[in-house]
Amino acid sequence: MLGNDKRRLKLDFMIACSMLAAGVVISGVSIAQIRAEGRVELAQATQPLQGTPSDDQNKPAEAKPGGDRPTTPAPEPARPDPQTQGAAKPALPPAPAEKIAPPIEKK
C-alpha cells in the first residue's frame, strides 16, 4: 500500500509539472504573437496628406474692401425632397400602455 501511494504521488506530480509546462509554453507563444502583431501595426504608416488642387471655378470671388460684393451667387440651403418627408419611421414601436409612467407633477 505504501508503494502504491508513492507511485500515485509521483504520477500526480508529473501531471502537475506537465500542466505547468504547457501553461508556460502557451503564455510564451501568446506573448510572442502579441508582440509580433504590435510591430506590424507600428510599421504601417499612413500616407502624408495631400491637398486637393484648387479649382478657380469652385472658389467664390474674394470680397474687396469698399462695399463690392462677390459676383458668385451664394449656395442655396438644402431642402429635403417631398418624397422623403414622410419616409422617416421611428426606430422602435410605441411603448405599451403599461410601460408608460404617469406624468410628473410640477410642485
d(CA 29, CA 35): 10
* Pair 85, 74: CB distance under 8 Å: no
Q: Tell me what pLDDT residue 20 has.
A: 98
Question: Which amino acid belongs to residue 82?
Answer: P
What does the DSSP assignment read for 48-101? PP-PPPPPTTTSPPPP-TTSPPPSSPPPPPP---GGGSS----SSPPPPGGGSP
Distance CA 15, CA 22 (A): 11
pLDDT < 70: residue spans in the chain: 1-2, 38-46, 48-71, 83-88
What's the pLDDT score for residue 15?
A: 97
Please tell me the predicted confidence (pLDDT) of residue 26: 97
User: Based on C-alpha coordinates, what's the Rg of the chain?
Assistant: 37
- Provide the grid cell at 81: 425632397
Is this structure's pTM higher than 0.75? no
